[in-house]
């Protein structure tokens, strides 16, 4: 499993980048907005998803763990493969995607090339309660990453928020690592 890559950009195309990591060039699929912002010779660190198929091994790279968690959630929806999930993240962004799900706005998904009305509705229904949107977000900015990580692990956003809040109240000066560990222990007890 390849969880992250850090190295020098050797080249980039519209939707991929070749990243030199200790002398090995990795072809990584990325969003067009990221690919177009890169210059040869630039240092780059990505969190990655390594997808193994019968006919190919593909690495998908993201700038943040939040994008990766969203990518994984999107792929869990029937009919959404890795390339379509990457396209959704590129065209909508994590924030707009979360808001579309929170507001049950399937029209936002219909605007993405390759998504019809049925898949758009399925995305909204399947992802409901799994993404933390701007309109439903009540936690502080420091707790947002922890809630997103818990949601990425399959917990519903409200359950994750409640667990983080209760742990934060018990230990207000906890670091993110300590807070995440305590929240996971709290959720495991339930």
**Domain check: are 13 and 41 in the same one?**
yes
Residue 134 lies in a domain: no
**Domain check: are 75 and 109 in the same one?**
yes
Cα–Cα distance measured from residue 107 to residue 29, given in angstroms and rounded to the nearest whole number? 26
Q: What is the pLDDT of residue 142?
A: 60
Q: What is the pLDDT of residue 62?
A: 96
Q: What is the pLDDT of residue 136?
A: 40
- CB distance 5 to 61 below 8 Å: yes
CATH number at residue 57: 2.40.50.140
Q: What is the pLDDT of residue 186?
A: 86
**Domain check: are 94 and 121 in the same one?**
yes
Q: What is the pLDDT of residue 36?
A: 92
- The stretches of the chain forming alpha helices (DSSP H) are 32-37, 65-75, 82-102, 106-110, 117-127, 141-152, 157-170, 176-189
Count of structural domains, the chain: 3
**Domain check: are 106 and 153 in the same one?**
no
Residue 179 lies in a domain: yes
Residue 163 lies in a domain: yes
**Domain check: are 36 and 71 in the same one?**
no
Residue 107 lies in a domain: yes
Residue 20 lies in a domain: yes
CATH number at residue 83: 1.10.150.20
Residue 86 lies in a domain: yes
- pLDDT means per 10 residues, the chain with 190 residues, are 94 95 97 94 96 94 94 93 95 90 88 91 88 47 76 82 83 81 85
CATH number at residue 155: 1.10.8.10
Q: What is the 3-state secondary structure (H, E, C) of 133-159?
A: CCCCCCCCHHHHHHHHHHHHCCCCHHH
Residue 132 lies in a domain: no
**Domain check: are 92 and 105 in the same one?**
yes
Q: Which of 21, 40, 62 is the last residue of a domain?
A: 62
Q: What is the pTM of this model?
A: 0.68
Orientation angle between helical segments 65-75 and 117-127, nearest 10 degrees: 120
Q: Which of 62, 78, 112 is the last residue of a domain?
A: 62
Residues of the domain holding 181:
141-189
Residue 17 lies in a domain: yes
**Domain check: are 121 and 162 in the same one?**
no
């Amino acid at each position: 499993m390849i969880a992250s890559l850090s190295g020098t950009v050797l080249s980039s195309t519209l939707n991929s980048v070749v990243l030199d990591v200790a002398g090995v060039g990795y072809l990584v699929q990325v969003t067009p907005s990221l690919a177009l912002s890169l210059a040869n010779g630039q240092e780059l660190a990505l969190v990655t998803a390594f997808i193994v198929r019968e006919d190919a091994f593909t690495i998908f790279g993201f700038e943040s763990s939040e994008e990766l968690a969203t990518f994984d959630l999107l792929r869990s929806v029937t009919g959404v493969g890795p390339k379509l999930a990457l396209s959704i993240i590129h065209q909508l962004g994590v924030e707009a995607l979360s808001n579309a799900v929170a507001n049950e706005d399937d029209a936002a998904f219909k605007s993405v090339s390759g998504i019809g009305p049925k898949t758009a509705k399925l995305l909204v229904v399947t992802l409901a309660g799994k993404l933390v949107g701007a309109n439903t977000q009540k936690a502080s900015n420091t707790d947002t990453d922890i809630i997103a990580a818990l949601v990425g692990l399959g917990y519903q956003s409200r359950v994750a928020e409640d667990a983080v809040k209760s742990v934060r109240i018990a230990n207000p000066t906890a670091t993110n690592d300590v807070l995440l560990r305590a929240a996971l222990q709290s959720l495991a007890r339930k």
